[in-house]
Structure 1
Amino acid sequence: MTATNDQPGVDVPAASSARLYSYDLAPTKKEGRRWGAYNVFTLWANDVHSLGNYAFAIGLFALGLNVWGILTAFVLASVLLFLLLNLSGYMGHKAGVPFPVMSRIAFGTKGAQIPAAVRGVVAIAWFGIQTYLASSVLNALLVAMFPGLRSLQGQSVLGLSVLGWMTFVALWAVQVLIVSYGMHVIRKYMAIAAPTTLITMCGLAIWMFARADWSISMSTSEPLTGWAMWLQILQGAALWVVIYGTFVLNFCDFTRSAKSRQSIVRGNLVGIPVNMLFFAGIVVLLSGAQFKLNGRVITSPTDIVQTIPNTYLLAAASLALIVLTIAVNLLANFVAPIYVLVNLFPRYLNFRRAGLVSAIIGLVILPWNLYDNPVVVNYFLGGLGALLGPLFGVIMADYWLIRRTRVNVPELYTEDANGEYHYRRGYNPKAVWAFIPSAALAVVMALVPAFSAVAGFSWFIGAILGAVIYAVIGDRKPDAQDVDGESIAVAAE
């Protein structure tokens, strides 16, 4: 068997089920883990600077927050994210298992399909959408360099231009190729993409700052004040955490390869609070400089990139944005569904095959039609996203409060009726009972217009309610053991 992860796989324990175990789902061995603090940092150096995040952050400026309000929102968000990601990351480091397997601890060997499926569906849809957004940047670059290609934009097939199909499929294939070589190549790609991203965005911000005569507008013409300002700051911070609701849930997919807890903490510290403040600084420079120049609030850094007068610099900046978007897509939207699919069909799919299946699904759903449909994005994907908070609350409460970090890793791979995580026919009814009411409330708050004033806090409310309910009704088996994956021998290839 060919390894697809950063570390050697482990042999199947005698009592394990072929439905629950495969090479890619096996716990990692500590001596094979290669993710240091820099690798964790590069994960955030790429993801924090995604085009979608810039659009959201610049939107705060458009909504009336001044520079100091935006910086305050990001300070609050970074502290919350740092704490949440460490809680989730420690789980992955100790157990060494991917998210679908980790979910078995709280939801049971079969019930784990619930959180895994929610995470996987959201990720596949956004994989297609992010690839489409990256292809749009490539379209603009190609037309700027080769004006004759403009004619291909007027011909449409299934809602996308011929040029759009060409660039989409090209970037789709690049991502499939990278993923086919496994997590170790993804890790190396991030290590290269991160400095490229940071240098490009810093250079773009300095260029805009110079264009605005080294000064910026500190706010729009009608900045928020008083309680309205603080409410927007709190909502902005909360929504930023919601954006990372996917990552805080399946961060273990990456930290299972971390060398130590210190690597996670150091990588998160530089990658979240420090990097996010750097990100916020770029946001205020870009948006404040543009507003000073012509009184217009940009919607994305691509608006500025397209105004670069030099063709070579335009090409370099556009390619950097494409490299960035691919990195974000690989991290946030490709790895998660791969493990979900491997978990569903461990006998037939490995990391490479699951990556291809995930990519094909992301293509056939015609993601540009999803992105152009506000109903789909806001209600379907928004509704699924609202479920992530309650799932996080239940899983964290089970691991930290009920079990107090004690996990019997070999038992995660057995269907024995007496197994520790078999519960009732493979489902933990108490986890489901805690999840349903908290999820229902989170979805209602996120989607019903009457609750729009507090919609930004739906993830937190769902997570807290799910954790509280489960902490009250959950129970811990008195014979629970703390056995890690090191008890399972290394597999032969």
Structure 2
Amino acid sequence: MKKLADVPHNDYPLSEVPLSERRGFWSLTLVLVGFTFFTATMWAGGSLGVAFDFQALLLVILAGNLLLGAYAAALGYMAARSGLNTVLMARYAFGEKGSRLADGILGFTQVGWYAWGTATIAILLVRILGLPEILTIPLMILFGFGFCITAIVGYRGLELLSRFAVPAMLLLIAVSLTLGVVEVGGIDGLLAMSPTETLSVGAAITMVIGTFVSGGTQATNWTRFAISGRQAVLATLVAFFIGNGLMVFTGALGALVYQEADVVDVMLAQGLAALAVVMLFLNIWTTQDNTIYNFAVAGCNLLRTEKRGLVTLVGAGIGTALAIFGMHDMLVPFLVLLGTFIPPLGGVLMADFFVLHRRRYTPLADTALPDYLWSGLAAYGVGAAAAYFSPFLAPVVGVAVAALAHVVLGRYARRHADGRPATAEDGER
């Protein structure tokens, strides 16, 4: 294996990651955990904290993050086995040009998150430090382009930041949570607290999944660097089940005790202003660089270019512009949108890899794919419609329906394409 410094800066945006460039478990885990440590997830957790008693809250967090972790881990396994990320795997399911559906959906959501993070750090810094309001937009521009630097470097830059930031954030969160539990009177005090709002269990689990389903769908951008499928699955579960779950729980606890979901606001309420500023920077930066990296990967596939650094810079500019024009005010409907329309995309890809292709893609360079594979595109449409109209657990319904539809439609399309019944070997063709 090559040394970390030898990793090419373009990170193979249009091809498989070779075995010589694969990374170990701890490297992947640090990058993925840094990605899931995000302040918006805590805000979603705050909505749950005021809607359930403590025991029900824990069950909702566990169920939602287990489903999210399983979804992301399945895609992570596929990425490690194939060396491909989500948008490249989409070529096998949707076709050469049809895969741009994935580019558009995933790229839009990631640049939306980037806008939210850029606006959030600028607004919070102005408030925390008592700066003039006129500095808000200049700060958005500064952070909008500043946070993309590690993403331009690539995997190497993301890992170096996460090596420092993840342990530091874990320590700060542990301090804040301990103070919060002590202030409310320990576990007995938490158990005695009653909900003040109402939210159905199905809606709550959908919200938990929606907090990071877009990121989970694109975690393949890093799990494709895994040495093995097993390591990819374990690293993904640590990040999306444990890491994202910790963020949701932190937000819920903050809302219960301090009526503030964001750990930064909680730290301010606890008199930890200096630590709050440090936490704000680390929390936002470790997700922002991953987010705009995701946008760049989708953009490279959309434009069929390997100039990932340039696409990253353009994405940062778009995200900064959206932040300036108020994208951050649309967080809740944005979460609902993510939780409904992204999971069916993953469902199609999982069915395509595990069933139709029997867990093995032929190399991209050796594969002649049609422009559009209508069976995959139609299956996504069916799954998205099912999720949108589902009265319960829309993300789970979307994945299941899209996967089933793709298996049925894919086999039907192959049988009629060559005039013979479909066989198990068709998955290799």
Task: Mark yes or no: TM-score above 0.5.
Answer: yes
What is the CA RMSD across the aligned residues, in angstroms? 3.1
Aligned counterpart in structure 2 of residue 462 of structure 1, from 377, 380, 398: 398
- For structure 2, the 5+ residue unaligned runs are 415-421
Write the distance in 2 (CA, Å) between the matches of 1:382 and 1:277.
18
Change (3 A) 1:5 1:243: farther
Contact persistence 1:61–1:220 (CA under 8 A): no
Aligned match of 1:326: 285
Change (3 A) 1:193 1:402: same
- Residue 79 (1) aligns with residue 37 (2): no
Write the distance in 2 (CA, Å) between the matches of 1:384 and 1:262.
27
Tell me the number of residue pairs that the alignment of Structure 1 and Structure 2 aligns.
416
Change (3 A) 1:287 1:85: same
Write the distance in 2 (CA, Å) between the matches of 1:378 and 1:61.
16
Change (3 A) 1:356 1:240: same
Aligned match of 2:174: 202
Write the distance in 1 (CA, Å) between the matches of 2:245 and 2:102.
32
Contact persistence 1:70–1:280 (CA under 8 A): no
Which stretch has the larger CA shift, 106-115 or 184-193? 184-193
Change (3 A) 1:186 1:276: closer
Q: Secondary structure at the match of 2:27?
A: helix
Contact persistence 2:13–2:300 (CA under 8 A): yes
Pick the structure with greater CA Rg.
1
After TM superposition, the score normalised by the length of structure 2 is 0.86
- Residue 59 (1) aligns with residue 17 (2): no
What is the Cα deviation at residue 188 of structure 1?
1.5
AA paired with 2:229? R
What is the Cα deviation at residue 88 of structure 1?
0.4
Aligned match of 1:306: 268
- Residue 30 (1) aligns with residue 3 (2): no
Change (3 A) 1:268 1:443: same
What is the Cα deviation at residue 232 of structure 1?
3.5
- Residue 471 (1) aligns with residue 407 (2): yes
Write the distance in 2 (CA, Å) between the matches of 1:385 and 1:212.
33
Write the distance in 2 (CA, Å) between the matches of 1:5 and 1:28.
16
What is the Cα deviation at residue 387 of structure 1?
1.8
- Residue 435 (1) aligns with residue 386 (2): no
Contact persistence 1:72–1:233 (CA under 8 A): no
Write the distance in 1 (CA, Å) between the matches of 2:252 and 2:332.
27
Q: Secondary structure at the match of 1:185?
A: helix
Write the distance in 2 (CA, Å) between the matches of 1:84 and 1:66.
27
Contact persistence 1:441–1:462 (CA under 8 A): yes
After TM superposition, the score normalised by the length of structure 1 is 0.76
Change (3 A) 1:50 1:260: same
Aligned match of 1:15: none
What is the Cα deviation at residue 400 of structure 1?
0.9
AA paired with 2:219? F
Write the distance in 2 (CA, Å) between the matches of 1:67 and 1:360.
42
Aligned counterpart in structure 2 of residue 357 of structure 1, from 314, 336, 339: 314
Write the distance in 1 (CA, Å) between the matches of 2:22 and 2:406.
33
Q: Secondary structure at the match of 1:218?
A: helix
Change (3 A) 1:288 1:118: closer
Aligned match of 1:177: 149
What is the Cα deviation at residue 164 of structure 1?
0.6
- Residue 187 (1) aligns with residue 159 (2): yes
Q: Secondary structure at the match of 2:200?
A: helix
What is the Cα deviation at residue 288 of structure 1?
4.1
Aligned match of 1:236: 204
Contact persistence 2:39–2:263 (CA under 8 A): yes
- For structure 1, the 5+ residue unaligned runs are 11-21, 144-148, 154-161, 291-296, 446-453, 484-493
Contact persistence 1:97–1:256 (CA under 8 A): yes
